[in-house]
Chain A
Amino acid sequence: GQNIDQPTEMTATEGAIVQINCTYQTSGFNGLFWYQQHAGEAPTFLSYNVLDGLEEKGRFSSFLSRSKGYSYLLLKELQMKDSASYLCAVGAGSYQLTFGKGTKLSVIP
């Protein structure tokens, strides 16, 4: 089976850096995805990791350790518009994605 854990909620200050962790246990693995979802909207793709290490894309970076079943999403220079839910999802053995429950990030002034 699949099990994906991430914190339910986080709060951070505008301009700061925040790290959202995700741990997973899956019966197969072919990649880890991070999606952003604003309230009432569709999830939008942020990043993909399949090999260990850090992937950087502008203000967003994502890290993966396959041996530890661990990933994090790092958001730098936080902006108010970054207030959203961040979903960790694993692809394992097929084309479907298994999502965590999401981390609701609130950015405060």
Chain B
Amino acid sequence: DTGVSQDPRHKITKRGQNVTFRCDPISEHNRLYWYRQTLGQGPEFLTYFQNEAQLEKSRLLSDRFSAERPKGSFSTLEIQRTEQGDSAMYLCASSRTGASYNEQFFGPGTRLTVL
């Protein structure tokens, strides 16, 4: 078990371009979460999957954002037509059902810079 992994770790893009990030959760975890964190702030919830089903989406997730988890394992987060305000750290976390409490394990994040 190598923990939650995310790829890439850093992404620099120009405004208007599309970007896609990948998250691989801990293998036995069926819940997967995406958060966004800006400097000096705590993580803000974006969306959540249980297996392949996307069960919750934050109002922060505009229609330029889309997330998938097609086989209930890894997940992707795509941002279309990026804007400078999208610059942030995108964190993925996972947890498992059946645990006594919902401890979420975070990945190292993908730092996005939109120029």
Contact = CB atoms under 8 A, between A and B. Distances in A.
B101 A48 contact: yes
Interface residues of A, number: 24
Interface stretch (B11-19, B79-87, B103-111): B103-111
Contacts of A89: 42
B2 interface: no
Contacts of A45: 103-105
B43 A43 contact: yes
Given A42-B91, A42-B109, A99 B43 contact: yes
Interface string A65-109: 000000000000000000000010101001111111110000000
Interface in B58-115: 58, 91, 95, 101-109
B103 A42 contact: no
